[in-house]
């Protein structure tokens, strides 16, 4: 049995000591936490895809969608005003990993990669050598980003790990060249529901996949009457309890201290809750209708209400499984010496004629995401209401680890976890999927938020080419009164946002 | 056993069939790829796009070989006087039919995702029966109208130019893919 003490072991030990020392300085941390801090803390990030803070009872949603998250929050720091930097997986997870906004990391498109200049500055690189690092993403686009950080990961589980049926090519056949294996095989030669790059064999693959799907659907009809959940843009089917079992098993076998990133697909569409959750919100309640936005495709209110209800059921389903995970961590004693971070990559919208998240319209349900952080041994709930962004996660972890926050980070440590509240702070949200990655922004939605003030710039859209909207979220939380340009704050924010746009465009002019 | 061996075609007979399959496989892959390249170039460098192209071309060669294997196995189902004696013409016609059929199916590929389990089993089987009937019909036409046989043979002969063009590209692509996966990125 090897017993040598490597440089990597030394770094892990040093960083563990740094973690332990940093804990005692955190505001809002109980004495129980400080007592538990003598152990080496693990870090567990649990991310559920497309989970809007607006649809969680934890944040006051009318339907009881998240009793387990509420239970977890009783021992955690709850962030009430946390925002994603993007409105879909690629830009938002890239921001989470690199603490940079989309206009810096340039991963604008669905299958974009983080720019070569920014990619080395990532969470896994920064914590490399401090922890055993493991990652598992059910979303292929997030998984692609993980492949960019592959050399910093001790363990990287395939996207179809713990799946029921269906396989991806890149994760199974081309692990050493997965990014290009995916772009050529899974996204081109064998892509789903669109003419493929492979003329003959893709049809055979489609038939085999469909046979697998039908067989699984029949087998799981009792549990999933509307079909088994599927990883978006793939033919991989899964059962969340089984995936959660797999993740819990993984956590049990990882050497401590560890840093893990788990990215679960639910409640991303298709919304397919298990049988016991179907109908639980047939309560006749519907939110008040909000006027359709000019850029909305015009989904009917009836359809939106129906989709929202199914989505809420799916949220309750995932909450049930998150409860299982938390109980497991508790039973294994991991809550005593782990940071557990519950969050999402973006939200979901069911209003103004828009459903889902592939939209240029940036209202709060789409970009406000949950963030609940349990610190080791924490016993009491702490609420933080100041404005935060998912670019703040990396600086927070670094601060806790006692590592200096680098100058390239565009986020800052979260209040309550080593950071300070700052009402004058700006955060941004960028939707720019219609743009080439390395040129000036021509068609985009840009959001600047400061305190309760929110300015949205719609740039380059047909019939809505250079429009601004300003909302005061304190007086108008449902964003129905566009006060632009009359509000004094609107002009001030506009000048700042325009200047910021010029600044980020400058290298590409 | 003798009858079985008598059904195996010569290399000269196989080449035009392979050429037709290569023509369809590569043309479709390249057509789709050139359609995609502008979007890839939006966020990938030229070298990275070439890496994807290597996968696509390498796979097109592999796919053509697999389809050739299918045509070969299918031809063994028929007596030598039906298929093997006019292998180039019948095999090329079958390959062309498969190619055209595949293009048509690709245009409506999302329909596959509506099939029930029994349909997934029955439709390909029905397709195989239809192919067998097509071969028998064509064998009769070639026998009854020798001019058609000469025309098809001439066309198939001319298609071999695509094999000389595409096979090296596919081999190169395959070499790049294997190297990347053996050596890492």
ipTM of the complex: 0.94
Residue from A105, A107, A184 whose CB has the most chain B CBs within 10 Å, to mutate: A184
Question: Residue A486 has what pLDDT?
Answer: 87
Structure tokens at A284: 């006749």
Question: Residue B1 has what pLDDT?
Answer: 62
Question: Residue A18 has what pLDDT?
Answer: 45
DSSP code, position A460: E
SS3 assignment, position A150: helix
Question: Residue A282 has what pLDDT?
Answer: 95
The pLDDT of residue A73 is above 70: yes
Confidence category of residue A13, pLDDT binned at 50, 70, 90 = very low
- CA distances, A108 to each of A104, A372, A430, A437 (Å): 10, 27, 9, 6
User: Which among B25, B123, B177 has CB closest to A199?
Assistant: B25
Question: Residue B2 has what pLDDT?
Answer: 66
For residue A205, list chain B residues with Cβ-Cβ distance below 8 A: none
Strand partners, A371: A79, A343
**A374 Ramachandran zone, left/alpha/beta (phi>0; psi -120 to 50):** beta
Question: Residue B139 has what pLDDT?
Answer: 94
Question: Residue A12 has what pLDDT?
Answer: 42
Strand partners, A469: A456
* Closest-CA distance of chain A to residue B144, Å: 32
Contact state of B117 with A196 under an 8 Å Cβ cutoff: no
Closest Cα in chain B to A170:
B181
Question: Residue A440 has what pLDDT?
Answer: 94
For residue B109, list chain A residues with Cβ-Cβ distance below 8 A: 193-196, 202-203, 206
What pLDDT digit, counting tens, does each position of A446-463 carry?
A: 999 999 999 999 999 998
Question: Residue A401 has what pLDDT?
Answer: 85
Confidence category of residue A27, pLDDT binned at 50, 70, 90 = very low
User: Which among B40, B59, B113 has CB closest to A210?
Assistant: B113
Question: Residue A161 has what pLDDT?
Answer: 93
Question: Can you give the length of chain B in residues?
Answer: 185
For residue A109, list chain B residues with Cβ-Cβ distance below 8 A: 39, 42-43
Contact state of B117 with A214 under an 8 Å Cβ cutoff: yes
Q: Average the pLDDT over A178-197 and give the result.
A: 90
A199 touches chain B (CB under 8 A): yes
Strand partners, A492: none
Q: Average the pLDDT over B52-72 and give the result.
A: 97
Confidence category of residue B49, pLDDT binned at 50, 70, 90 = very high
Q: Average the pLDDT over B47-64 and give the result.
A: 96
A211 touches chain B (CB under 8 A): yes
Q: Are A235 and A227 in contact (CB under 8 A)?
A: no
The pLDDT of residue A154 is above 60: yes
Higher-confidence residue of A438 and A329: namely A329
What pLDDT digit, counting tens, does each position of A354-384 carry?
A: 999 999 999 999 999 999 999 999 999 999 9
Confidence category of residue A39, pLDDT binned at 50, 70, 90 = low
| CA dihedral sign, ordered A360, A363, A366, A367 | positive
CA–CA separation, A504 vs B144, rounded Å? 73
* Closest-CA distance of chain B to residue A185, Å: 8
The pLDDT of residue A342 is above 80: yes
**Lowest-confidence pick of A287-296, A299-308, B5-14, B125-134:** B5-14
Greatest extent of chain B over all pairs of C-alpha atoms, in Å: 59
CA–CA separation, A275 vs A227, rounded Å? 10
| Nearest CA among A300, A186, A276 for reference residue A232 | A186
Backbone angles phi, psi at A192, to 5 degrees: -90, 140
The pLDDT of residue B4 is above 70: yes
**Lowest-confidence pick of A25-39, A116-130, A418-432:** A25-39
* Closest-CA distance of chain B to residue A198, Å: 6
The pLDDT of residue A23 is above 70: no
Sheet holding A453-461, edge to edge: A426-431, A444-450, A453-461, A464-472
* Closest-CA distance of chain B to residue A176, Å: 5
SS3 assignment, position A87: coil
CA–CA separation, A370 vs B47, rounded Å? 40
List, in order, residues 6 or more apart from A91 with CB less than 8 Å away: A85, A102, A105, A107, A108, A112, A430, A431, A432, A433
For residue B184, list chain A residues with Cβ-Cβ distance below 8 A: 176-177
List, in order, residues 6 or more apart from B142 with CB less than 8 Å away: B86, B89, B90, B148, B149, B152
| Nearest CA among A357, A380, A359 for reference residue A369 | A357
Structure tokens at B49: 């796009």
What pLDDT digit, counting tens, does each position of A83-133 carry?
A: 999 999 999 999 999 999 999 999 998 889 999 999 999 999 999 988 999
Alpha helices in A291-446 (DSSP H): 301-331, 364-367, 393-401
What's the mean per-residue pLDDT of chain A?
91
CA–CA separation, A124 vs A98, rounded Å? 9
Question: Residue A166 has what pLDDT?
Answer: 83
Burial of residue B1 (number of CB atoms within 10 Å: 0-12, 13-18, 19+): exposed
The pLDDT of residue A47 is above 60: yes
CA–CA separation, A214 vs B116, rounded Å? 7
Residue from A197, A209, A212, A217 whose CB has the most chain B CBs within 10 Å, to mutate: A197
Greatest extent of chain A over all pairs of C-alpha atoms, in Å: 73
Question: Residue A485 has what pLDDT?
Answer: 86
The pLDDT of residue B5 is above 80: no
Burial of residue A482 (number of CB atoms within 10 Å: 0-12, 13-18, 19+): middle
Token pair 């090329």 in the structure block, residue: B92
CA–CA separation, B180 vs B162, rounded Å? 27
Question: Residue A32 has what pLDDT?
Answer: 36
Backbone angles phi, psi at A371, to 5 degrees: -145, 115
Contact state of A203 with B102 under an 8 Å Cβ cutoff: yes
Q: Are A160 and A166 in contact (CB under 8 A)?
A: yes
What pLDDT digit, counting tens, does each position of B84-124 carry?
A: 889 999 999 999 999 999 999 999 998 998 999 999 999 99
Contact state of A113 with B180 under an 8 Å Cβ cutoff: no
For residue B116, list chain A residues with Cβ-Cβ distance below 8 A: 214
A365 touches chain B (CB under 8 A): no
| Nearest CA among B172, B165, B156, B168 for reference residue B12 | B156
Q: Which residues 327-346 of chain A have a CB within 8 Å of chain B?
A: none
Question: Residue A35 has what pLDDT?
Answer: 37
What pLDDT digit, counting tens, does each position of A235-245 carry?
A: 899 999 999 99
Higher-confidence residue of A144 and A3: namely A144
**A146 Ramachandran zone, left/alpha/beta (phi>0; psi -120 to 50):** alpha
β A426-431/A132-137 pair status: unpaired
Helix then strand then coil, in percent of chain A rounded to 5, is 40, 15, 45
Q: Average the pLDDT over A313-318 and give the result.
A: 98
Structure tokens at A339: 């940071």
Q: Are A412 and A62 in contact (CB under 8 A)?
A: no
Confidence category of residue A191, pLDDT binned at 50, 70, 90 = confident
Contact state of B32 with A197 under an 8 Å Cβ cutoff: yes
CA–CA separation, A102 vs A85, rounded Å? 7
β A354-356/A349-351 pair status: antiparallel
For residue B42, list chain A residues with Cβ-Cβ distance below 8 A: 109, 435-437
The H-or-E segment that residue A504 falls in is helix A488-505
Q: Average the pLDDT over A280-292 and give the result.
A: 95
Q: Tell me: cis bond preceding A267? Omega within 30 of 0 counts.
A: yes
For residue B177, list chain A residues with Cβ-Cβ distance below 8 A: 177
CB atoms within 10 A of CB B47: 7
CA–CA separation, A36 vs A319, rounded Å? 27
CA–CA separation, A178 vs A174, rounded Å? 5
* Closest-CA distance of chain B to residue A209, Å: 9
Contact state of B115 with A181 under an 8 Å Cβ cutoff: no
Question: Residue A509 has what pLDDT?
Answer: 85
CA–CA separation, A111 vs A80, rounded Å? 30
Structure tokens at B111: 């329909």
| Nearest CA among A78, A116, A76, A120 for reference residue A99 | A120
Question: Residue B185 has what pLDDT?
Answer: 57
What pLDDT digit, counting tens, does each position of A250-266 carry?
A: 999 999 999 999 999 99
Ranges of each domain in chain B: 11-183
Residue from B102, B128, B166 whose CB has the most chain A CBs within 10 Å, to mutate: B102
Contact state of B109 with A201 under an 8 Å Cβ cutoff: no
Question: Residue A34 has what pLDDT?
Answer: 40
SS3 assignment, position A163: coil
Q: Are A17 and A232 in contact (CB under 8 A)?
A: no
Contact state of A183 with B52 under an 8 Å Cβ cutoff: yes
List, in order, residues 6 or more apart from B147 with CB less than 8 Å away: none
Structure tokens at B18: 């392979």
The pLDDT of residue A327 is above 70: yes
Contact state of B106 with A203 under an 8 Å Cβ cutoff: yes
Q: Average the pLDDT over A195-204 and give the result.
A: 94
Euclidean distance between the first and the last CA atom of chain B, given in angstroms as a whole number = 49
Closest Cα in chain B to A109:
B43
Write b or e for each residue in A444-475: b if 16 or more Cβ atoms lie within 10 A of its Cβ, otherwise e: bbbbbbbbbbbbbbbbbbeeeeebbbbbbbee
Question: Residue B154 has what pLDDT?
Answer: 93
Strand intervals (E) in A284-438: 338-344, 349-351, 354-356, 371-374, 382-384, 388-389, 426-431
* Closest-CA distance of chain B to residue A262, Å: 25
Question: Residue B144 has what pLDDT?
Answer: 93
């Amino acid at each position: 049995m090897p017993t040598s003490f490597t440089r990597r072991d030394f770094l892990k030990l040093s960083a563990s000591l740094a973690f332990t020392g940093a804990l005692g300085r955190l505001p809002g941390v109980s004495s129980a936490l400080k007592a538990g801090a003598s152990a080496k803390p693990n870090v567990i990030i649990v991310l559920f895809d497309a989970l809007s803070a607006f649809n969680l009872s934890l944040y006051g949603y009318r339907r009881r969608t998240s009793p387990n998250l509420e239970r977890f929050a009783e021992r955690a720091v709850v962030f009430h005003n946390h925002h994603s930097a993007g409105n879909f997986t690629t830009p938002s997870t890239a921001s989470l990993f690199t603490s940079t906004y989309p206009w810096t990391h340039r991963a604008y498109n669905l299958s974009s990669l983080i720019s070569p200049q920014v990619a080395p500055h990532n969470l896994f690189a920064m914590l490399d050598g401090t922890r055993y690092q493991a990652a598992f993403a059910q979303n292929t686009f997030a998984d692609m980003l993980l492949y960019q950080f592959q050399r910093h990961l001790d363990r990287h589980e395939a996207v179809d790990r713990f799946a029921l049926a269906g396989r991806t090519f890149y994760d199974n056949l081309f692990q050493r060249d997965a990014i290009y294996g995916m772009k050529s095989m899974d996204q081109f030669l064998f892509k789903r529901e669109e003419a493929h790059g492979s003329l003959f064999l893709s049809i055979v693959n489609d038939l085999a996949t469909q046979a697998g799907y039908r067989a699984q659907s029949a087998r799981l009809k009792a549990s999933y009457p509307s079909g088994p959940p599927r990883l978006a843009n793939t033919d991989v089917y899964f059962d969340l309890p089984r995936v959660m079992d797999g993740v819990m098993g993984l956590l049990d076998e990882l050497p401590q201290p560890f840093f893990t990133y788990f990215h679960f697909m639910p409640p991303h569409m298709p919304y397919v809750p298990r049988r016991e959750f179907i109908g639980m919100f047939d309560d006749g309640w519907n939110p008040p209708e909000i006027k359709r936005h000019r850029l909305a495709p015009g989904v009917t209110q009836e359809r939106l209400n129906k989709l929202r209800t199914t989505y809420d059921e799916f949220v309750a389903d995932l909450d049930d499984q998150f409860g299982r995970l938390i109980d497991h961590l508790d039973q294994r004693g991991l809550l005593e010496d782990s940071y557990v971070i519950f969050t999402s990559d973006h939200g979901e919208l069911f209003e103004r004629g828009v459903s889902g998240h592939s939209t240029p319209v940036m209202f709060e349900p789409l970009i406000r995401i949950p963030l609940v952080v349990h610190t080791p041994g924490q016993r009491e709930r702490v609420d933080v209401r100041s404005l935060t962004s998912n670019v703040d996660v990396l600086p927070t972890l670094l601060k806790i680890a006692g590592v200096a926050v680098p100058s390239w980070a565009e986020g800052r440590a979260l209040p309550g976890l080593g950071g300070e509240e700052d009402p004058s702070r700006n955060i941004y949200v960028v939707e720019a999927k219609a743009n080439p990655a390395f040129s000036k922004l021509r068609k985009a939605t840009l959001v600047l938020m400061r305190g309760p003030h929110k300015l949205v710039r719609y740039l380059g859209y047909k019939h809505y080419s250079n429009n601004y909207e300003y909302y005061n979220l304190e007086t108008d939380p449902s964003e129905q009164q566009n006060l632009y340009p009359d509000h004094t704050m609107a002009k001030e924010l506009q000048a700042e946002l325009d200047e910021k746009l010029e600044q980020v465009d400058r290298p590409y002019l | 056993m003798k009858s079985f061996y008598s059904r195996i075609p010569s290399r000269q007979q196989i080449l035009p069939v392979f050429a037709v399959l290569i023509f369809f496989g590569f043309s479709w892959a390249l057509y789709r790829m050139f359609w995609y390249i502008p979007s890839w170039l939006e966020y990938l460098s030229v070298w990275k796009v070439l890496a994807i192209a290597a996968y696509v071309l390498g796979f097109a060669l592999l796919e053509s070989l697999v389809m050739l294997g299918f045509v070969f196995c299918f031809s063994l189902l028929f007596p030598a006087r039906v298929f093997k004696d006019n292998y180039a013409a019948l095999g090329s016609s079958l390959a062309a039919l498969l190619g055209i059929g595949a293009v048509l199916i690709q245009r409506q590929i999302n329909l596959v995702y509506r099939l029930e389990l029994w349909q997934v089993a029955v439709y390909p089987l029905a397709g195989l029966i239809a192919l067998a009937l097509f071969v028998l019909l064509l064998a009769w036409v070639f026998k009854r109208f020798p001019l058609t046989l000469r025309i098809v043979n001439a066309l198939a002969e001319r298609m071999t130019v695509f094999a000389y063009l595409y096979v090296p590209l596919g081999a190169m692509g395959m070499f790049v893919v294997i190297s990347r996966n053996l050596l890492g990125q």
